[in-house]
Amino acid sequence: PDSKVSDIDGQPYTTILYGNGPGYATPRIVPMNTTTASEDRNQVHGSAVPRQWATHGGEDVPVYALGPLATTLFTGTFDQSYIPHAIAYSACLGEHRLRCQGIDNYTAPQVTCVAPEVSSVAAAGAPVVIASSVMADDGTRPRSAAGRVATHLLSLAAALQFAVT
C-alpha cells in the first residue's frame, strides 16, 4: 500500500485502483439492475476503499470533440490513456509533428477543369450552350458565401469564354 490512508476508516490503500469513494459497504452490497431512470442519477456505485469523495470512482466520463478528425478519433468507447495520444495525433504534436506536413494532409481532392472539345458549331461562331455535364464537378460545394460566389464567377467566366470563342 501507499502512504495514503482512507479518510473514513484510516486504513492504507493503493492509489492505483479504480473504485474508491462513498459507495463502500461491509458486507459488499450488489445493486440490482431494477432501478428506474429517475433513481439512476442518484445511485452511488460500490467501491473497494471507503472515502468521503471519490478520486478514482470508475465512472464513465463523456468526451466531446469538434474539429478535424473529431468523429474519427473520438467515437465510441475508449480508455482514458487514449485521449492524449489522439489529441497529439490530431494536433500534430510530439511524435506526430510531421504528420501535418505530408502531401496527404488535405480534406478534399484537388480537381482540375478539363476544357471541352470545340464542336463544328462553336467553331463556326454560333452560340454554344454548355451543359453541366461538360464542367468538372467533384460533388462538393464551398461552405462559405465567398467560396460560392467565387465558384459561380468562375463558372460564368468559363461559360462566357466558350460562348465567345
- Binding site, annotated residues for Zn(2+): 56
Q: Where are the beta strands (DSSP E) in 28-155?
A: 49-50
Binding-site residues from annotation: 56
Cα→Cα distances 16→11, 45, 115, 126, Å: 15, 18, 67, 82
Written as nine digits, the cell of 7 is 479518510
The single-letter DSSP state of residue 8 is T
Q: Half-sphere exposure of residue 103, counting CA atoms within 13 Å on the CB side?
A: 1
Amino acid type, 123:
A
